[in-house]
Chain A
């Protein structure tokens, strides 16, 4: 057991140290006027093209950062003077890469310096932030250099229709100097058009800040390590924990054994209870999604969905609570003889009450976790869409190789762990096989399928997890109340009840 913990510690340490080591690159300012200009930042090629009509196209060709060992904010400064009705168009498009790696520009800081001398001139920024799945619920910040008199400032995020969700926009008028405006971004994926309109003839510098994370090889390694931990961890949980702790016998393990060794019954109960709990988390997540959609329309006050939500959750809880109550009570009544035997051989009321209570709470906990996750998944299911097939770069050779090594690593570790603790080859092989299977599934989802899966609402994942936790806590509290009576009833079983069976 000590060796296993040590191994786990080392793995956790590796993951943490990899996560910490991201360094910052140097920002570079360029001033190309009137022509195509090519330059490099950290060996990343950037082409800037200034067109006749005053628009500029910035394209970046990205090297994987594991070569340069550096990553950092990209700082582009484009001083440009417009004295007639013109549009400035700045595009940041990561184009096809030299290596087989997909890396993403870290456009943490893009500074666009524009002198707008015509009242109707406006800037259009096009950021193609494809496949950036790693974005948290971020913001785009606008910062103006000096006092400007703008009649109307219209900030808008445009995304292709395929997402089916309107993205937030804001009308601000008039903005004062050095003020930061924030446009909430739920997800940046696909083409985002940012339109800024203003009517002023004074020079203005707009800093735009995107919070976009780079996905690089370290990230990939991290993902692989994560998948390794998962694929070794889950079978270990299934096989090793019962082996190590299964021999212990006390009121709690007794309750767990009562649950888990009556598998069919437990699964049926699990299905029933988790279904009701999935409704709770589904309602919570849906209400949030509805809110954000209303918000993104940007018009009118946001209606409160609270009362309806609580009503729905209340009804669901009542149904679920009754279900648990009924299940538990009937299980107690069915096991009357068994409980009486326990009483006869010397268990006291408290002991048996505790045991049945733990049984119920365990069922509640497991079905809470299963139910809330499935509920949340069902809630966001309509927003999951497969996109970007044409753009998805193939999986790299190195990724394949690294992935292959990791694929073999998980079953190997499982075999070693199994040999140490299980002592039986059959279970060891079973454990290793499950580890391999889990690893393959994860590899498939993370690397083969990832480029095709686009999740606009991915940014709401932390929020969803919060909702899932909330629904688990609510469910647990309710279930504890629901099983209280059956538990007490079980506790006061008379030892003589067992004679009824004779």
Chain B
């Protein structure tokens, strides 16, 4: 594998069968992502952006094709290895934040460190550090319902980064936010991208997000139609 590319997806197909209808969520998609790159996946709903993110993040398996992340070929991993891969290499941020409602901001961020088997003190320290970094140092003990949308998204970003992943996958993260909040989240992502050499792939149909990115990949009907820098 080339050292330059952190993600190499080759000829990915994803076919969903619903009763008698088959849907091609992805058709013959190939994508190469450099380390530290900020990529925007653009396209209308149903273009296959989320499916592609899920495949790269190891949440789902392709019908055919291969994905290399670093030196790992994802389809050759079993469930356990795939879980470990998600734990160590990838951070997810979603449109609806997907925080655990019963846990406080701090606990939500600390959560992945337990799964990683990190000692409690260390996990807690890291979580506090990250929450302070995303500007929520004063809201450690608030539950998600007590936080605004932007704050929840910041918590989600902190949670995604707590295990020091090399890739951050962001799915429509500004979709539920007002413009001002969306900008601040985007600024945060950009800063993190530079600070940590973090590879970010953000699926969006917001042109503002796309402007922030170094590269825009446009998708339609499960295909990549255009890649621009």
Interface residues of A (CB under 8 A from B): 247-251, 254, 257-258, 261-262, 337-338, 341-349, 351, 495-496, 498-499, 501-502
Are B80's CB and A496's CB within 8 A?
no
Q: Which of A251, A338, A349, A499 contacts B100 (CB 8 A)?
A: A338
Residues of A near B111 (CB, < 8 A) are 249, 254, 342, 345
Given A249-B123, A250-B120, A344-B59, does the pair A257, B83 have CB atoms closer than 8 Å? no
Q: Verify if B72 is at the interface (C-beta below 8 Å from A).
A: no
Task: Tell me the bound Cα distance from A251 to B117 in angstroms.
Answer: 11
Using CB atoms, name the residue of chain A closest to B92.
A344
Residues of B near A342 (CB, < 8 A) are 100, 111, 115
Q: Verify if B227 is at the interface (C-beta below 8 Å from A).
A: no
Given contacts A338-B101, A344-B92, A346-B88, 5 further A-B contacts (CB under 8 A): A249-B110, A345-B159, A346-B86, A348-B80, A498-B94
Residues of A near B124 (CB, < 8 A) are 247, 249
Min distance, Cβ A18 to any Cβ of chain B, angstroms: 41
Residues of B near A346 (CB, < 8 A) are 83-84, 86-88, 112, 115-116, 163
A-B contact pairs, 30 of them (CB 8 A): A249-B107, A249-B120, A249-B124, A250-B120, A254-B111, A257-B103, A257-B107, A261-B102, A261-B103, A262-B102, A341-B98, A341-B100, A342-B111, A344-B86, A344-B98, A345-B159, A345-B160, A346-B86, A346-B112, A346-B115, A346-B116, A346-B163, A348-B80, A348-B84, A351-B115, A495-B59, A498-B98, A499-B50, A501-B96, A502-B95
Using CB atoms, name the residue of chain B closest to A346.
B87
Best-surrounded residue of B57, B86, B159, B163 (most CB of chain A within 10 A): B86
Count CB-based A-B contacts (< 8 Å). Answer: 77
Min distance, Cβ B91 to any Cβ of chain A, angstroms: 8
Task: Tell me the bound Cα distance from A501 to B95 in angstroms.
Answer: 11
Min distance, Cβ B173 to any Cβ of chain A, angstroms: 13
Are B98's CB and A249's CB within 8 A?
no
Q: Verify if B60 is at the interface (C-beta below 8 Å from A).
A: yes
Task: Tell me the bound Cα distance from A376 to B88 in angstroms.
Answer: 52
Min distance, Cβ B190 to any Cβ of chain A, angstroms: 23
Residues of B near A495 (CB, < 8 A) are 59-60, 86
Residues of B near A249 (CB, < 8 A) are 107, 110-111, 114, 120, 123-124
Residues of B near A250 (CB, < 8 A) are 114, 120
Are A499's CB and B54's CB within 8 A?
yes
Min distance, Cβ B165 to any Cβ of chain A, angstroms: 10
Task: Tell me the bound Cα distance from A502 to B83 in angstroms.
Answer: 22
Binary A-proximity of B55-96 (CB < 8 A = 1, otherwise 0): 001011000000000000000000110011011100010111
Binary A-proximity of B33-50 (CB < 8 A = 1, otherwise 0): 000000000000000001
Residues of B near A496 (CB, < 8 A) are 54, 59-60
Are A348's CB and B110's CB within 8 A?
no
Residues of B near A498 (CB, < 8 A) are 94, 98
Given A262-B102, A338-B100, does the pair A345, B114 have CB atoms closer than 8 Å? no
Residues of A near B92 (CB, < 8 A) are 344-345
Are B86's CB and A502's CB within 8 A?
no
Task: Tell me the bound Cα distance from A225 to B106 in angstroms.
Answer: 40
Residues of A near B107 (CB, < 8 A) are 249, 257
Residues of B near A254 (CB, < 8 A) are 103, 111, 114
Task: Tell me the bound Cα distance from A479 to B98 in angstroms.
Answer: 31
Are B79's CB and A349's CB within 8 A?
yes
Min distance, Cβ B104 to any Cβ of chain A, angstroms: 9
Min distance, Cβ A235 to any Cβ of chain B, angstroms: 22
Task: Tell me the bound Cα distance from A337 to B99 in angstroms.
Answer: 10
Min distance, Cβ A172 to any Cβ of chain B, angstroms: 67
Residues of A near B110 (CB, < 8 A) are 249
Q: Which of B12-34 contact A (CB under 8 A)?
A: none
Residues of A near B101 (CB, < 8 A) are 338
Using CB atoms, name the residue of chain A closest to B100.
A338
Q: Which of B116-138 contact A (CB under 8 A)?
A: 116, 120, 123-124
Residues of B near A262 (CB, < 8 A) are 102
Min distance, Cβ B105 to any Cβ of chain A, angstroms: 12
Min distance, Cβ A243 to any Cβ of chain B, angstroms: 12
Residues of A near B83 (CB, < 8 A) are 343, 346-349
Task: Tell me the bound Cα distance from A266 to B159 in angstroms.
Answer: 27
Task: Tell me the bound Cα distance from A348 to B84 in angstroms.
Answer: 8
Residues of A near B112 (CB, < 8 A) are 345-346
Task: Tell me the bound Cα distance from A349 to B78 in angstroms.
Answer: 13
Task: Tell me the bound Cα distance from A499 to B84 in angstroms.
Answer: 20
Min distance, Cβ A153 to any Cβ of chain B, angstroms: 69
Min distance, Cβ B97 to any Cβ of chain A, angstroms: 10
Residues of B near A344 (CB, < 8 A) are 57, 59, 86, 92, 98
Are A257's CB and B123's CB within 8 A?
no
Residues of B near A258 (CB, < 8 A) are 102
Using CB atoms, name the residue of chain A closest to B88.
A346
Task: Tell me the bound Cα distance from A277 to B159 in angstroms.
Answer: 41
Are A345's CB and B103's CB within 8 A?
no
Task: Tell me the bound Cα distance from A337 to B59 in angstroms.
Answer: 14
Residues of B near A257 (CB, < 8 A) are 102-103, 107
Min distance, Cβ B122 to any Cβ of chain A, angstroms: 12
Task: Tell me the bound Cα distance from A351 to B96 in angstroms.
Answer: 24
Residues of B near A347 (CB, < 8 A) are 83, 115
Task: Tell me the bound Cα distance from A151 to B156 in angstroms.
Answer: 91
Residues of A near B59 (CB, < 8 A) are 344, 495-496
Task: Tell me the bound Cα distance from A501 to B98 in angstroms.
Answer: 10
Residues of B near A247 (CB, < 8 A) are 124
Residues of B near A343 (CB, < 8 A) are 83
Are A248's CB and B120's CB within 8 A?
yes
Task: Tell me the bound Cα distance from A474 to B84 in angstroms.
Answer: 38
Using CB atoms, name the residue of chain B closest to A495.
B59
Min distance, Cβ B204 to any Cβ of chain A, angstroms: 14
Task: Tell me the bound Cα distance from A33 to B80 in angstroms.
Answer: 93
Min distance, Cβ B156 to any Cβ of chain A, angstroms: 10
Task: Tell me the bound Cα distance from A498 to B57 in angstroms.
Answer: 14
Task: Tell me the bound Cα distance from A502 to B50 in angstroms.
Answer: 11
